[in-house]
Structure 1
Amino acid sequence: MWGGKKRLYSATKFILYTAGSSIFLLIGALGIALYGSNQPTFNFETSANQSYPAALEILFYIVFLIAFAVKLPIIPFHTWLPDTHGEAHYSTCMLLAGILLKMGAYGLIRINMELLPRAHSIFSPYLIIVGAIQIIYAASTSPGISSISDMGLNGAVLQIVSHGFIGAALFFLAGTGYDRIRLAYLDEMGGLAAPMPKILITFVMAVGMILTPIYLLSMLRQMFYGYKLFTAPNSYFFDAGPRELFVSISLLLPVIGIGIYPDFIFSLSVDKIETLLSNYFYSF
């Protein structure tokens, strides 16, 4: 009912990757809960104060890293994401981009870095290299793993939050556009600005707030002012309505607010990050 022609393949692949990574997450959580105590505990503060033998800490780190690398995703555990985004309904893509993927970055910060600092010091240089490769390969970052400085980690948290809103907004706009014109390729589009000015404005608002504006503004020029006027038959050719405007504004206003006053996000995370970093450096 929902999704593209390969939706069953993509859904199966997504479930297998997610379930497989959850097994690693469960193993790691049980290992930490059962270690060094006659009474198992999942209390985070207790686990944060627990010390582990070096080999065991590295083992825990690898287990959690695999689980969160699938969630983010980090190459080479990323192959489920293009298939899922390409075949899923845009509402599903909004949830993936806005919430699910961010859980991987959050887990790397709160679990791998906070609970396993010695192992993180060993793996962090390799994660930096993987992150750099991923930037080149997929024009995306793996926030939260490339810096242990105060400003760097605060910036990673800010990026996680802002990218969640921006990614969800772009998928929503792309999906609402597809609902109307039933076209997915840029070379088939053009001349949409006159009949769809509200969607154009919201697209420009979203595109102007990310790191690749030149490429994406070129995309918008092709879509809305291209030489091919839209003449496809049987298309739902109407502009954004109240529903689309409400969702778009709800997603874009926080992004504008973060851009104007990022200290609001910093104020929510700075105390915890300072504590995390103090514990991290104290462990060496």
Structure 2
Amino acid sequence: MFEFFFNPLIVLICLPLFGIFVLLIFIPETENHFLKIFTLVITSLTFIWSLCIWINFNETTSNFQFLETYSLIPFFNISYSIGIDGISLLFLLLSTFLINLCILISWEFPKFFIKEYLISFLFLEFCLIQIFCVLDILLFYIFFESVLIPMFLIIGIWGSRERKIRAAFQFFLYTLIGSLFMLVGIIFIYSIKGTTDLQILWFTDFPLNIQLILWILFFLGFSVKIPMVPFHIWLPEAHAEAPTAGSVILAGILLKLGGFGFLRFSLPLFPFASLFFSPFVFVLSLIAIIYASLTTLRQIDLKKIIAYSSISHMGFVTLGIFSLTLNGIDGSIMLMLSHGLISSAMFFCIGILYDRYSTRILKYFGGLVQIMPIFVIFFMFFSFSNISFPGTSSFIGELLILSGISKISLCLVSLALFGVVLSASYAIWLFNRVSFGLLHLHYFTYFQDISRREFFILSLLTFSVFLLGIYPEIFLNDLNFSSLSLFKHLIY
């Protein structure tokens, strides 16, 4: 155990800012290799520091830890408060881990504006850390929207195809407009309670009619981020046009911000409204699971296949959250962490194919097991992980979610299990089409298996998926008291 004489969250927040400052001021744009090495060092230190915070985290309390408060605007009673519980801790670990991998993934990409590209990822990491640490809903909203800026640039400037500008604007406008409703709700809360401090609002009761209105406003902001059907239109297009690292961070972390928002705000602040609207959310979630799975089977773009499968998995997440059971909430968090790892790995595998063959159209691929056997082994593992094969991380999350919703309705369980069957169908279909069959030698004549850098990245993701699947206790222990505290808000 480490002993801190200062707040470690402040250091975690400052590390990406320090990296941005050094990149801007001291390292010239011509030093491409040094730019990447320095950024990798900063993101690695940030991840290691988040591990130190995890080691020092007290899992036997539901209180926020590493608390720090600074008065920003005393006249308006607005303060900068930070602190973490078990839920935000795990999302912090996921964020710092994946940002670090994104720098490794981008080692040979892009070929232009490299400094600006790396600064975008460091700024994105800074905003994500703030989102999971801040305990003020107004500041949460500011950082919640700030992540749009670097992602807009990453998709619009370094995207892979000619529709990247359209995809960037679609992503930006959809998510921004949805969040404006949440801003109206935050302003309304401040007008009636005189504060935006989450620790105070958690113990403040809202009248039922006010809860219903506020829940809808927050729901519109969070459902676009997940995204839930019918707010999902922006996601496949954004994934298709984003660079590989952009898709990794979009699927791995940004899709989890909506789920985190539901857990942090909607459930504890508006418990009666969450119960009232839970059948509505169940319907949308089941539609997302079945519709997205069927749509996945019709796609020909490899990235869009994984994008639509992500919508299906997020349907399971919202089922678990609004089951309003302890197992369901724990399962939804575990599934979000698992999906962050597995979808990142799947997008990286597709990025490997695109780097070699400059296409993602499914019909051009086949028989890769003959010339890329190591790649196919990894691709098989992550394909099976994506369908929640026992022993992998998704199995734990989906099992807990199904256990949670079984207390509500066996019909819900049956329809959700039908979604599991569909997910197995498209995952095995995709793996079979890419890996087996005949080589299309009239399309491709140059073949190369994965490099040492790619092998290292995929090995790290494989180890993480195995760890979460075989020994989930080390993560569930951190969640137990935080989830129980959230559950108490619902029953009382």
What's the TM-score, normalizing by structure 2?
0.54
1:110-168 deviations in Å (ceiling 9; x for gaps): 11111110111111111011111111011313314331111111111111110111111
What does residue 443 of structure 2 align with?
232
CA contact (8 A) 1:189 1:230 kept: no
Task: Determine the C-alpha separation between the residues in 2 that align with 1:95 and 1:34.
Answer: 36
Counterpart amino acid of residue 224 in structure 2 = V
Runs (5+) with no aligned partner, structure 1? none
The equivalent position to 1:255 in structure 2, one of 460, 465, 488, is 465
CA contact (8 A) 2:368 2:439 kept: no
Q: Does the alignment pair 1:19 with 2:173?
A: no
Deviation at residue 81 of structure 1 after TM alignment: 0.6
Deviation at residue 232 of structure 1 after TM alignment: 2.9
The equivalent position to 1:79 in structure 2, one of 217, 228, 233, is 233
Task: Determine the C-alpha separation between the residues in 2 that align with 1:233 and 1:223.
Answer: 14
What does residue 193 of structure 1 align with?
369
What does residue 150 of structure 1 align with?
326
Q: Does the alignment pair 1:127 with 2:266?
A: no
Q: Does the alignment pair 1:216 with 2:427?
A: yes
CA contact (8 A) 1:192 1:230 kept: no
Runs of 4+ in 1 over 2 A off after TM superposition: 24-37, 212-222, 228-235
CA contact (8 A) 1:190 1:228 kept: yes
- 1:105-120 matches, within 5 Å, as 105-120=259-274
My pick for the range that moved more, 209-218 or 257-266, is 209-218
Counterpart amino acid of residue 202 in structure 1 = F
CA contact (8 A) 2:275 2:322 kept: no
Deviation at residue 192 of structure 1 after TM alignment: 1.7
What does residue 277 of structure 1 align with?
487
Deviation at residue 90 of structure 1 after TM alignment: 1.9
What does residue 52 of structure 1 align with?
206
Counterpart amino acid of residue 210 in structure 2 = L
Counterpart amino acid of residue 376 in structure 2 = L
CA contact (8 A) 2:364 2:440 kept: no
Deviation at residue 231 of structure 1 after TM alignment: 4.2
What's the TM-score, normalizing by structure 1?
0.92
- The structure whose RCO (Cα within 8 Å, separation 6+) is larger is 1
Secondary structure, aligned partner of 2:236: helix
In the alignment of these two chains, the number of paired residues is 278
Runs (5+) with no aligned partner, structure 2? 1-157, 294-311, 388-422
Distance 1:278 1:190, change over 3 A: same
Deviation at residue 238 of structure 1 after TM alignment: 1.4
Task: Determine the C-alpha separation between the residues in 2 that align with 1:42 and 1:245.
Answer: 46
1:64-113 deviations in Å (ceiling 9; x for gaps): 00000100001111100111112222211111110000010111111111
Task: Determine the C-alpha separation between the residues in 2 that align with 1:98 and 1:164.
Answer: 4
Counterpart amino acid of residue 138 in structure 1 = A
CA contact (8 A) 2:179 2:220 kept: no
Task: Determine the C-alpha separation between the residues in 2 that align with 1:46 and 1:95.
Answer: 32
Q: Does the alignment pair 1:103 with 2:257?
A: yes
Deviation at residue 35 of structure 1 after TM alignment: 2.2
1:192-240 deviations in Å (ceiling 9; x for gaps): 22321221111011111122345323322322222234443575x3111
Distance 1:234 1:31, change over 3 A: farther
Deviation at residue 275 of structure 1 after TM alignment: 1.3
Counterpart amino acid of residue 157 in structure 1 = I
CA RMSD of aligned residues (A): 1.7
What does residue 3 of structure 1 align with?
160
Task: Determine the C-alpha separation between the residues in 2 that align with 1:229 and 1:29.
Answer: 56
Task: Determine the C-alpha separation between the residues in 2 that align with 1:263 and 1:26.
Answer: 37
The equivalent position to 2:356 in structure 1, one of 148, 162, 180, is 180
What does residue 476 of structure 2 align with?
266
Secondary structure, aligned partner of 2:386: coil
Task: Determine the C-alpha separation between the residues in 2 that align with 1:249 and 1:178.
Answer: 20
Deviation at residue 55 of structure 1 after TM alignment: 1.9
Secondary structure, aligned partner of 2:368: coil
Counterpart amino acid of residue 266 in structure 1 = L
Distance 1:146 1:117, change over 3 A: closer
Counterpart amino acid of residue 369 in structure 2 = A
